[in-house]
Amino acid sequence: MAVSHVIEDEQALIAAIREIAQERVAPRAAEIDHSGQFPWDMKELLAQQDILGMPFPEKYGGIGASELAIVMAIEELSRCCATTGLILAVQQLGSLPILLGGTEEQKQKYFPRLATGEWLAAFGLTEAGSGSDAAAMTTHAVRKGDTYILNGSKRFITNGGLAQVNSVFAQTDPSKGTRGISAFIVEKDFPGFSVGRIEDKMGIKGSQTAELIFNDCEVPAENLLGREGDGFKLAMMTLDRTRPGIGAQAVGIAQGALDLAVAYSKQRVQFNKPIAENQGIQFMLADMATQVEAARLMVYNAAEMIDQGNKSLSKYSAMAKMFASDAAISVTNDAIQVLGGYGYMKEYPAERMMRDAKITQIYEGTNQIQRLVIARALLTAQA
C-alpha cells in the first residue's frame, strides 16, 4: 500500500528496514523463539542501523521520525520476527513518559543513550493485582528529603531486568485514587531495586518479561516525572500513543502469515493441482488479505493522528490496536488451516506466528478495555 504522507527520507528508511528484516532478522526468528533468549544481536543490529533512534528527537541524538514511520518500521520487523519488532516498540513505550512529562535535564540525561541503543527502556505500570484496573496499584512512594522511597512490585514488564531506564508508576497519595499516582524514572542500579521472576511465555519468547521489585528503593526526587499526581495521566497519554505500535506488530505478524499461506498454497499439490486453484483456499486468502489491509489502514490512520496532534486520538488508537490484534489472530489461525498438518508443526513458522499474535490482544490494554475506551468516547460525544 502506498502511503504518500511519509517523506522521502522516511520512505528510504522503511525500504532499508524491510531489506534488513528479510535478510538479517527472518533467519534468526525460529532460533529466538526456540531458545527463549533475548536476542542481543538483533538489538545491536537495530542500534547500529539507527532504528532505535527513531522515537527520539534529533537534538538528543535520535532520528526524530514520524509516528507513521515508526509503526511502519515495527510492522516490517514483526513481519519477520515479532520479538525483534517489540524491541523498537518498547524502546518507545518506556521512554515516552519522559518525552511527555520529563524536564529538559531528564531528556538530556537519558535520551542520547536510549537513542543509540546503549540503554534499553521499560514501562512499569502493571502489577499482579492491577492489570486493567491500573488505579488498584499498591506500589507506593514516600518522599524523604531529596529522595522518594519506593516499595512494591510490578509484573509482566517487557525488558524487565534488561532495561537501564524504567518508567515506573506508584501511589504517592492513595486517598486521591488515580490523581494520587506519580511517575518516576528508576535506573537499574538504584539501591533497593531488583528483578524477581522471569516469565515463561506462550509467545514472543525471546522478549524478556519480568517482575520488578522495589524494597525501600531510593529514587532521587529529581527523577519524578512532572508533578506528584501526574502519573496516571502520563500513563494514559503514553498508551494512547503506543497502542498503534502494538497494532503495527499485529499487522506485521498477520502479513507474515499471509505471505506464508500464499506461498504454500502455490506449492502444495493435492488432487493433481496446487491447492491455490481451489476456490475454498482462494476465498480464505482473500479474506485474510482484506483483514490485513483494513488493519494496516487503521494503524496508519491512528499514527498520522498522533503526528497531527489530533484530540480524538484515544478512540482511534484503541480501534486500531483492537482491530489489528483481532485480525492477527484470525489471519494466523487461517494460515495454519491453509498449511494443514504442516501448519501445526514447528517446521513451519505459522504456529509461532499464532502464538506471538495472541499477546497483541492482551498487552497495552486488553481488547475488552479498548472496547470500553471506544464506547465511552462514542457516548461522551453524543451526550
Which residue reads 506466528 in cell numbers?
A: 353
Which is catalytic among the residues 75, 211, 304, 364?
A: 364
DSSP 208: -
Which residue reads 484515544 in cell numbers?
A: 314
Q: Where are the domains of the chain?
A: 8-115, 121-228, 232-382
Which residue reads 516469565 in cell numbers?
A: 199
| CA-based radius of gyration for the chain | 21
293 is catalytic: no
Whether pTM > 0.95 for this model: the answer is yes
CATH superfamily of 121-228: Butyryl-CoA Dehydrogenase, subunit A, domain 2 (2.40.110.10)
Question: What are the pLDDT tens digits along the chain (383 aa)?
Answer: 556 688 889 999 999 999 999 999 999 999 999 999 999 999 999 999 999 999 999 999 999 999 999 999 999 999 999 999 999 999 999 999 999 999 999 999 999 999 999 999 999 999 999 988 988 999 999 999 999 999 999 999 999 999 999 999 999 999 999 999 999 999 999 999 999 999 999 999 999 999 999 999 999 999 999 999 999 999 999 999 999 999 999 999 999 999 999 999 999 999 999 999 999 999 999 999 999 999 999 999 999 999 999 989 999 999 999 999 999 999 999 999 999 999 999 999 999 999 999 999 999 999 999 999 999 999 997 65
Decide: helix, strand or coil at residue 156: strand
Burial class (CB in 10 A: 0-12, 13-18, 19+), 150: buried
The span from the CA of 27 to the CA of 190, in Å, is 38
CATH 1.20.140.10 fits 232-382, yes or no: yes
User: What's the CATH architecture for 8-115?
Assistant: Orthogonal Bundle (1.10)
